[in-house]
Each structure stands twice: as C-alpha cells, then as structure tokens.
A and B are shown apart, each in its own frame.
Chain A
C-alpha cells in the first residue's frame, strides 16, 4: 500500500475540496444556500412542486386539516394551502427583491452623488433622510400603503421608500470615504472628469458595501412585506402571497390553524436563509 504522506498544499486544493472545507467551517452558510436554492426553484417553477392551482375554489372541501391529498390542508373556501404557499413564493419574494433593488439603486445613486459632491444638495438630502429615518420602518410602510390604497404598485413604492434612507447613508458615507483617497486625486490630476471618477472608480469601490446591505436588509423587508400583507395593506386576495394568506387565516386561527401555520413557516424559513447568508457575507466584509 502506497503511503501518501504529503497532503496537498492549500493552494492546490481542488474546487470541490475547497468547497467542502468551507462547508465544514460554515454550516450556517451551507444551510442558507441550500434553502435559498430550494426557494429559487419553487419561485421559478411552482408547477414542479404542485399540479394544483392556488386559485381553485371548492366550497365542499373548505377548512380540511392537512392530509395526504392536501399536505397543508385547505382554506375557508377550499383552496389548497400547499399550492397557495408554493405559488406565493414567487409573489412575495419578487416583490421584496424588486422593492429592495429600487431602494438600493435610487438610494445608492443619490447617496453617492450627495457624498461625492457635497454642498447644499447634500445638506438638504441629509435632513430629508433624517426625517424619514425618524419613522419606525413598519409604520412608514403602513402609512404609505394605507394612504395610497392596497395595490401591488403602491406596496412596492412603500417598501422601496422604507429602506432608501439606509442605502443613501451607506453610499454617502462610502463616497465621502473615497473622495480623499489618493487615487481620486491622481485621477483628477490627469484631467479625468469628476463624473467619470465617480462612475468608474468611486462607485465600484462602494458597490460591495451596498451589496452587503442589500443582503442584510432582505429578511427585514420580507418581515415588513408580510406584516403589511397581514394588515390587509399588501397583495390583495385571491393572489397568493404569504402575508395575505396569513391575513385570511387569522380569523379561523382556532378552527383551522393550518391556514396560518404554513405560510408563517415559509416566511420564517426564507428569512432564516437570508439572515444566515447576510451573516456570512458580513463576516467576510469584516475580515477584509
């Protein structure tokens, strides 16, 4: 039997080997990625997971407890709760992802410009952001959706305003930190225009901060989206949305708790996966 005493040096580890090693070191990250992959699959191809339509009403099958035919039971009008939760994945997660993206793009861009150029523009915006941040996020979301009326467009608008100030602050602080650096001075001295420096160099260096923030805020915006749905201010029935399913279930909580248990678990699992990812990413950023 040949004895192989020299272990491969770290740099020569295969990709799989390296993956396995970091998987052992960060079980939370692995769990998160597995769950996120599953959620992505469910969101993209709900038909793979259930042939049942989330909208099919069958009054004679109302409020049936979980069974082999209806894994998560049925709701008050006999719709399959499993199908509703599965089809709700795409609705809920895409609203959250989209709103947060708008938040990051608008808040980030304005913050970059504000921090880089400064001046009265920066002062005024700073004040507005202070004002927005003085509202608890959920209340801000509630007021905007409540005032404009429950509609998906209004929900997305409300959700994207809620965290815009956070992205603004991070981008602004990032740009402020970069302005004084030598590379900016160097770029200026060779006559590169300010706009180009901001777009090509500063933005690129601030990007990782914004991306990290996006991941960290995702589970939080999910909570707010669900809460608004639960208050009846979010996605309206019959469209399946996790928060909205909970809203419909709450009146039957003592008779048909399964209507509420499973959509809530879906929110919990998604938030958990996102939060674990956020923690892993944050750890990497801190190490840098």
Chain B
C-alpha cells in the first residue's frame, strides 16, 4: 500500500505540474493582455511598456512560468492584477463556496440516487423500474442551468419567494446561506441523482444475475439476507467509486449554476478573471480546480483499495 501510494502521488504530482504548464500557456493565449485592458485606447507607449515590465510581461514566457511556479510551490499564488488582493485569499474564499455547494449536492444526489437505483435494480423491468429509469434519463438529458431556471420560476410562482441576491457565508447566518443555496443545490442534486441512480441500478442488476445470488435463492436464504449480504456488499464498491466521479461532475456543473444564481464560487471567479485578463487569478483558480479533481480521484482510488482486498493483490 505504501509504495503504491508513493507511486500514485508521484504520478499525480507530475500530471499537476504538466497541467500547470498547460494552464499557464492557455491563459497566455488570451488576445490582448491586462495592460491593453487597463490603458484602453489612450495612453502612451512608454507607460504601457513600464506597466508590462511591472507585471513581468516583458520577460520570455518560460521565465514568466518559472517565476510563477517557483512561487506556487512555496504556497504563494501571487497578487491579483486588477484587485491587488492575494490570489490565495480570493481563490480560497471562492473554493469554500464551491466546496459547500459540491458537498451538499453530493449529499442530495446520494440520498436520492442510491435508493432509487437499488429499487430500480431489484424491480428490474417492472413498472417501478420503468418510472425510475424515465426519471433518470430525463434527468441526464436536462441542462442543469435550465432546470435551475425552471425551479426559480416554479418556486417564485408557487410560493412567491425568490432566493436572496446577496451571498451570505454559513458562519454569518446558516439559514440565509441555505436559503440562497437551496435552488442551485436542488437543480444540481436532482440531475446528479439521476446519474447516480442509473449507475447503481446497472450494478444491482448485474449483481442479481450472479451465480452466488442464484445459489442463495436456491438454498432458501431469505430475500433480506440476500440483499444485505450478497448484493449490497458487492454494489458498495462501485457506489463509492462513482461518488468521486459524481463529485468531479458536480465541480463542473457548479461553475454554470454559480453564474446563474450569482454565487461567488470558483466558476464566477474564473469567468471574471477571463474577462479582466487577470492572469494570476485565472492561473490560481484553474490550478485549484485541477488539483481538487486530482485529489478526489486519488481518494477514490485509495478507498477502493481499502475496501476491496482483491484490488490490493493485483
């Protein structure tokens, strides 16, 4: 396990480092830099050159990268070019918002999706299964931001209520915080529940057709025993693995839902940084997204090995 962990960590670090190069290059493909944005049409050549020197934009690109990555490795993400605040602070605050949305969504998706999937799998091809599968496929087809919009219309028409416009952190007021997040989480959660349920169903169906389940039925093990001992145990492993995948999906979905509900998470930060050509913020936020996705993958892998002894051997 120890050597595996080391190998896996080294590979992740290498990927993260390569990703940082890609991030850096991508960001620099932006036509027009921050200086051009700041000065607009007016402003002399000298002032522009001075500003470029100030931001280090006059250096060759690999030197810019080396300077950035050395600081990043020391935990310093730099300072925002447009707001003068440390990038780490901005990204940290935004990341907490996104993380809260993601974890709550994961909770909703699991609580709804897993039982639905198990039910659908047990009642394969019966009306209940058809109903759940219809929910799944519609959920998987609906665009998340559209579901968010529809929930907004539905809720405001039925209860004449719409979520507060200003974001409040949970430590200030948990009630206000949840009121703001309710609709975004509901829309993301419902769709991810569909994905989860679909996946769990497939696994239950395939577990039910296994020889050992048939043997258990044949020798008269009560249904409940078969379910808990044979089916659920075998389905648990993919359920946990899929949780990681769902979490990464949610991370992507949050970006869109944040922009719809004006939530100050990573997605909004990224979009704003693109607009203002704020390279340090853009690089920092992107790097955090990539590293977060990587950590999730790593955790999934490790849990997988912990709970399934078969994987450890191979």
- Nearest residue (CB) in A for B29 is A147
Question: What separation, in Å, do the CA atoms of A261 and B152 have in the docked complex?
Answer: 12
Task: State whether A272 and B293 are in contact (beta carbons under 8 Å apart), knowing that A231-B259, A260-B146 are contacts in the complex.
Answer: no
Interface pair B162/A135, CB less than 8 Å apart = no
Tell whether B149 is near chain A: CB-to-CB under 8 Å: yes
Tell whether B299 is near chain A: CB-to-CB under 8 Å: no
Q: Which residues of A sit under 8 angstroms from B137, Cβ to Cβ?
A: 272, 275-276
- Nearest residue (CB) in B for A270 is B141
Interface pair A144/B26, CB less than 8 Å apart = yes
Q: Which residues of A sit under 8 angstroms from B260, Cβ to Cβ?
A: 230, 250
Q: Which residues of B sit under 8 angstroms from A134, Cβ to Cβ?
A: 15-16, 19, 290, 293-294
Interface pair B15/A253, CB less than 8 Å apart = no
Q: Which residues of A sit under 8 angstroms from B274, Cβ to Cβ?
A: 143, 146-147
- Interface stretch among B77-85, B249-257, B306-314? B249-257
Q: Report the minimum CB–CB distance from B191 to chain A (whole Å).
A: 10
Sample of 16 A–B contacts (CB below 8 Å): A127-B14, A134-B19, A135-B293, A136-B252, A136-B289, A136-B293, A138-B253, A142-B255, A146-B274, A148-B29, A227-B145, A230-B143, A246-B149, A271-B140, A271-B143, A272-B137
Tell whether B5 is near chain A: CB-to-CB under 8 Å: no
Q: A134-B15, A143-B26, A143-B274 are in contact. List 7 more A-B contacts (CB 8 A).
A: A134-B290, A139-B267, A143-B270, A147-B26, A147-B274, A148-B31, A231-B256
A74-97 residues with Cβ-Cβ distance < 8 A to B are: none
Task: State whether A136 and B248 are in contact (beta carbons under 8 Å apart), knowing that A227-B143, A254-B162 are contacts in the complex.
Answer: yes
Tell whether B96 is near chain A: CB-to-CB under 8 Å: no
Tell whether B185 is near chain A: CB-to-CB under 8 Å: no
Interface pair B143/A143, CB less than 8 Å apart = no
Interface pair B271/A146, CB less than 8 Å apart = yes
Question: What separation, in Å, do the CA atoms of A143 and B149 have in the docked complex?
Answer: 24
Tell whether A153 is near chain B: CB-to-CB under 8 Å: no
Tell whether A65 is near chain B: CB-to-CB under 8 Å: no
Question: What separation, in Å, do the CA atoms of A175 and B168 have in the docked complex?
Answer: 53
Task: State whether A268 and B27 are in contact (beta carbons under 8 Å apart), knowing that A139-B289, A254-B153 are contacts in the complex.
Answer: no
Q: Which residues of B sit under 8 angstroms from A190, Cβ to Cβ?
A: none
Interface residues of B (CB under 8 A from A): 14-16, 18-19, 22, 26-27, 29-31, 137-138, 140-146, 149-150, 152-153, 156, 162, 248-249, 251-253, 255-256, 259-260, 267, 270-271, 274-275, 286, 289-290, 293-294
Instruction: Choose from B31, B138, B146, B252 the contact partner of A246 (Cβ within 8 Å).
Output: B146
Q: Which residues of B sit under 8 angstroms from A267, Cβ to Cβ?
A: 141-143, 146
Closest 5 CB pairs of A and B: A264-B146, A136-B252, A271-B141, A146-B274, A138-B252
A249-265 residues with Cβ-Cβ distance < 8 A to B are: 249-250, 253-254, 257, 260-261, 264
Q: Report the minimum CB–CB distance from B140 to chain A (whole Å).
A: 6
Question: What separation, in Å, do the CA atoms of A269 and B137 have in the docked complex?
Answer: 11
Q: Which residues of A sit under 8 angstroms from B15, Cβ to Cβ?
A: 127, 130-131, 134
Interface residues of A (CB under 8 A from B): 127-128, 130-132, 134-139, 142-144, 146-149, 219, 223, 226-227, 230-231, 243, 246, 249-250, 253-254, 257, 260-261, 264, 267-269, 271-272, 275-276
Instruction: Choose from B145, B146, B290 the contact partner of A268 (Cβ within 8 Å).
Output: B146
Interface of chain B, helix or strand or loop or mixed?
helix
Interface pair A253/B289, CB less than 8 Å apart = no
Q: Which residues of A sit under 8 angstroms from B144, Cβ to Cβ?
A: 223, 227
Q: Which residues of A sit under 8 angstroms from B259, Cβ to Cβ?
A: 231
Interface pair A230/B145, CB less than 8 Å apart = yes
Question: What separation, in Å, do the CA atoms of A163 and B14 have in the docked complex?
Answer: 22
**Residue of A127, A137, A264, A276 with highest tally of chain B CB at under 10 A:** A264
Q: Which residues of B sit under 8 angstroms from A131, Cβ to Cβ?
A: 15, 18-19, 22
Q: Report the minimum CB–CB distance from B299 to chain A (whole Å).
A: 15
Question: What separation, in Å, do the CA atoms of A277 and B116 have in the docked complex?
Answer: 23
Question: What separation, in Å, do the CA atoms of A136 and B246 have in the docked complex?
Answer: 11
Question: What separation, in Å, do the CA atoms of A226 and B147 have in the docked complex?
Answer: 13
Q: Which residues of A sit under 8 angstroms from B267, Cβ to Cβ?
A: 139
Q: Report the minimum CB–CB distance from A85 to chain B (whole Å).
A: 13
Question: What separation, in Å, do the CA atoms of A254 and B252 have in the docked complex?
Answer: 26
Interface pair A268/B252, CB less than 8 Å apart = no
Instruction: Choose from A130, A136, A231, A253 the contact partner of B152 (Cβ within 8 Å).
Output: A253
Task: State whether A272 and B138 are in contact (beta carbons under 8 Å apart), knowing that A135-B289, A135-B290 are contacts in the complex.
Answer: yes
Interface pair B293/A264, CB less than 8 Å apart = no
Q: Which residues of B sit under 8 angstroms from A250, Cβ to Cβ?
A: 145, 149, 260
Interface pair B18/A253, CB less than 8 Å apart = no
Q: Which residues of B sit under 8 angstroms from A139, Cβ to Cβ?
A: 251-252, 255, 267, 270, 286, 289
- Nearest residue (CB) in B for A263 is B146
Task: State whether A254 and B152 are in contact (beta carbons under 8 Å apart), knowing that A127-B18, A227-B145, A268-B142 are contacts in the complex.
Answer: yes
Question: What separation, in Å, do the CA atoms of A131 and B24 have in the docked complex?
Answer: 13
Question: What separation, in Å, do the CA atoms of A135 and B16 have in the docked complex?
Answer: 10
Interface pair A230/B251, CB less than 8 Å apart = no
Question: What separation, in Å, do the CA atoms of A142 and B19 have in the docked complex?
Answer: 16
Q: Report the minimum CB–CB distance from B301 to chain A (whole Å).
A: 14
Interface pair B290/A272, CB less than 8 Å apart = no
Q: Which residues of B sit under 8 angstroms from A142, Cβ to Cβ?
A: 255, 270-271
Q: Report the minimum CB–CB distance from A129 to chain B (whole Å).
A: 10
Q: Which residues of B sit under 8 angstroms from A136, Cβ to Cβ?
A: 248-249, 251-252, 255, 289, 293
Q: Report the minimum CB–CB distance from A143 to chain B (whole Å).
A: 6
